[in-house]
C-alpha cells in the first residue's frame, strides 16, 4: 500500500491485526514509516476487540503508529445517538471517527472485515479480507 491516507480501524480490523493479518500489518508499518499515512483506533473499537482477545489492548497500545481516538463528550453524545438509531455499539465510534470533521473534511475511511455494516451510515470503507 502506498500513498496518503487516513484510516480508522474498527474492532474487526484490530482483531485481524492481532492475528497477524498481512494488510493490517502493512498499514501500520506504512503509518510508522510514511508521514502521510495515519491509523486511528477508536477507543470503543479497541474495547470491543479486547473483549474478544484480552491481550490485544497491550499490543495495540504499544504501536506508536496507531493513534487511539478518545471518546470525549461530543463523541460520546454522537455515539449514543448512533446506537439509539440502531448502530451496533462496536462500530458506532468508528462511524463517528470516519465522518467528516474540520481536521478531515472528506472523512476517514474505515477498515473493516464487515463493510456491509457501514452502508446505512454513509461512511467510506476499505474491505479487509483474511
The pLDDT-based confidence of 129 (bands split at 50, 70, 90) is confident
The predicted structure's pLDDT at residue 130: 64
pLDDT in tens, 14-26: 999 999 999 999 9
Q: DSSP secondary structure string, 15-72?
A: HHHHTT-HHHHHHHHHHHH-TTEEEEEEHHHHHHHHHHSTTHHHHHHT-TTEEEE---
Among left, alpha and beta (phi > 0; psi -120 to 50; other), residue 3 is: left
Other Cβ atoms closer than 10 A to 89: 15
pLDDT in tens, 64-79: 999 999 999 999 999 9
pLDDT in tens, 26-56: 999 999 999 999 999 999 999 999 999 999 9
The grid cell for 10 is: 474498527
pLDDT at 109 over 90: yes
Q: How far apart are CA 94 and CA 11, in angstroms?
A: 9
Domains of the chain are 5-127 (3.40.50.1010)
The predicted structure's pLDDT at residue 2: 36
Q: Which residue has the cell 474478544?
A: 52
The predicted structure's pLDDT at residue 1: 39
pTM for the complete prediction? 0.93
Instruction: Decide if 94 contacts 8 (C-beta within 8 A).
Output: yes
pLDDT at 4 over 70: no
Amino acid at each position: 500500500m502506498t500513498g496518503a491516507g487516513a484510516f480508522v480501524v474498527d474492532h474487526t480490523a484490530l482483531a485481524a491485526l492481532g492475528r497477524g493479518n498481512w494488510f493490517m500489518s502493512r498499514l501500520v508499518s506504512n503509518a510508522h514509516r510514511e508521514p502521510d499515512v495515519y491509523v486511528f483506533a477508536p477507543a470503543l473499537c479497541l474495547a470491543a476487540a479486547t473483549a474478544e482477545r484480552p491481550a490485544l489492548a497491550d499490543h495495540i497500545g504499544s504501536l506508536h503508529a496507531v493513534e487511539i481516538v478518545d471518546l470525549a463528550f461530543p463523541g460520546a453524545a454522537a455515539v449514543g445517538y448512533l446506537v439509539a438509531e440502531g448502530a451496533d455499539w462496536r462500530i458506532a465510534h468508528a462511524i463517528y471517527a470516519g465522518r467528516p470533521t474540520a481536521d478531515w473534511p472528506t472523512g476517514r475511511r474505515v477498515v473493516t472485515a464487515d463493510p456491509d455494516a457501514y452502508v446505512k451510515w454513509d461512511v467510506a470503507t476499505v474491505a479487509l479480507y483474511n
